[in-house]
Amino acid sequence: MSRDNKRDGFSGSFGMIAATIGSAVGLGNLWRFPYLVGQNGGAAFILIYLFFSIVICTPIMVAELVIGRRGQGAPAISFFNLSGSRKWASVGILAMFTCILILSFYGVVGGWTIKYLVNSVCLQYREGAVLDSASAFGQFVSGSGGPIVHFLIFTALTGAVILAGVTKGIERTSKFMMPVLFVLVVLVAVRSITLPGSAEGLKYLFKPDFSQIDSNVVLAALGQAFFSLSLGAGMQITYGSYTRSDDNIIQNAFISSFSDTLFAILAGCAIMPAVFAFGINPGEGAGLAFVTLPQVFVQMPMGGLFAILFFATLFLAAITSAISLFEVVTASMMEIWKMTRRKAALLTGSIIVALGCVCSLSQGVLSGFTVFGKNVFDLFDYVSSNVLMLLTSLLVVLFVGWRLKKEAFLDEVTAGGRARMPRSVGAVLFYIIKYAAPLVIFAIVLSVIIK
């Protein structure tokens, strides 16, 4: 009990699950998943994705939660408390750095969602409106002042929730936002599927084309599963440290990852059928959600209203995820450098604003500045999803499997006997964490390096 009282934390399972799903379900589901499916062979990609998310990634989520709840701190502190070693603590620093990179480009897209929400409130996407959504989107994101102002508003709102703390800020926001989000995604999916010509899109989503599978596609699926479940960035460690000591973390992890995958597939159903119904190329890229859906709305009865609801949803999904990324950085600063929440949040915000502005401008005036052929925005996305998150996850599973040991793991996942979770289930997860997870991550990284 004493452990629960010491730190600000979630009041119970529902709050914890809502916040974790809030983190997991974000732009990754609504904006990244559908276009990755489009680019990488439809259902074949989804199957690989499902396999990774259930068999490998959920156990990794459990590993992170165990580190956080047992270590009782932000990532670096949790690692240090459990190992007494500064080397292991540096994995937590790596995680904090990863969150900073993700949040920089994520916040920029968060800003776009605000812009589109405002547009829809101004009835730009009402039924019958004439719209060139592709060029409007291109013009907006490649501008300078516009996207930056929206990015700043998004970051300020995120920071405000962080300032309010874990229970009053993060938990309260998530409990309210997540159910609303679910209803809205279902409504859009139903509308999209019932459009004439949508069947091609469903076929594209659900008919496997295994000939497209190569190591890059496998890496993309694994990278997306990590990104979507918010792994490899210390987020589950941080939220794990806020989880009550008697909560059933295995059960919570499976509920969270199941919901996340459901959201991703629903988002695919919301977007792909519409893409095909309007004859748009599904591999179009990040703009898909912003370009395609406005075209759906202008042809939909009450589309104007739908647009408002949808972009409100996209914004809510983005902000609950951004909150979790922001919290990792703020909690780390608070605990490592003994700062107040206020100071740490302001410092986090300043760093994010500086890097985010560069990301935003890299869509326009700075687009000529490229590293390995990628602009700064794409570089941050690529490096965090395909390099840093995999590396951090590898270190997380090696730590839990080989350093923390089985008894400690089983004790934590059964909450010392207080959670109804058979030890055998814990043992299976432990062996996945100890042997299968490191091998899979290692093999995939290697196959890409060799290529």
**Binding-site ranges for ligand TRP (CB under 6 A):** 23-24, 26-29, 102, 227-228, 230, 233, 235, 321, 324-325
Toward ligand TRP, which CB reaches closer, 98 or 198? 98
Toward ligand TRP, which CB reaches closer, 277 or 322? 322
Alpha-carbon distance of 19 to 108, in angstroms, equals 22
The answer to whether 351 and 339 are in contact (CB under 8 A) is no
Alpha-carbon distance of 75 to 439, in angstroms, equals 23
β-sheet bridge partners, residue 42: 208
Alpha-carbon distance of 84 to 240, in angstroms, equals 19
Toward ligand TRP, which CB reaches closer, 108 or 415? 108
Q: Fill in the amino acid letter for 248.
A: N
Toward ligand TRP, which CB reaches closer, 229 or 415? 229
Q: Write down the least CB distance from residue 407 to ligand TRP, Å.
A: 29
Toward ligand TRP, which CB reaches closer, 174 or 228? 228
The alpha carbon torsion through 171, 160, 101, 35 (nearest 10 deg) reads 70
Give SS3 for 244.
coil
β-sheet bridge partners, residue 374: 371
Q: Write down the least CB distance from residue 233 to ligand TRP, Å.
A: 3
Q: Write down the least CB distance from residue 234 to ligand TRP, Å.
A: 8
> What contacts 9, CB < 8 A, 6 or more positions away?
166, 167, 241, 242, 243, 244
Alpha-carbon distance of 20 to 139, in angstroms, equals 35
In the DSSP assignment, the letter for residue 25 is S
Q: Write down the least CB distance from residue 228 to ligand TRP, Å.
A: 4
Q: Write down the least CB distance from residue 390 to ligand TRP, Å.
A: 11
Q: Write down the least CB distance from residue 171 to ligand TRP, Å.
A: 16
Alpha-carbon distance of 386 to 393, in angstroms, equals 11
Toward ligand TRP, which CB reaches closer, 99 or 421? 99
Toward ligand TRP, which CB reaches closer, 48 or 235? 235
DSSP letters of 287-307?
A: THHHHHHHHHHTTSTTHHHHH
Longest dimension (CA), the chain: 64
Q: Write down the least CB distance from residue 318 to ligand TRP, Å.
A: 7
Toward ligand TRP, which CB reaches closer, 26 or 273? 26
Cα separation of the two ends of the chain: 52
* Closest residue to bound ligand TRP by CB: 28
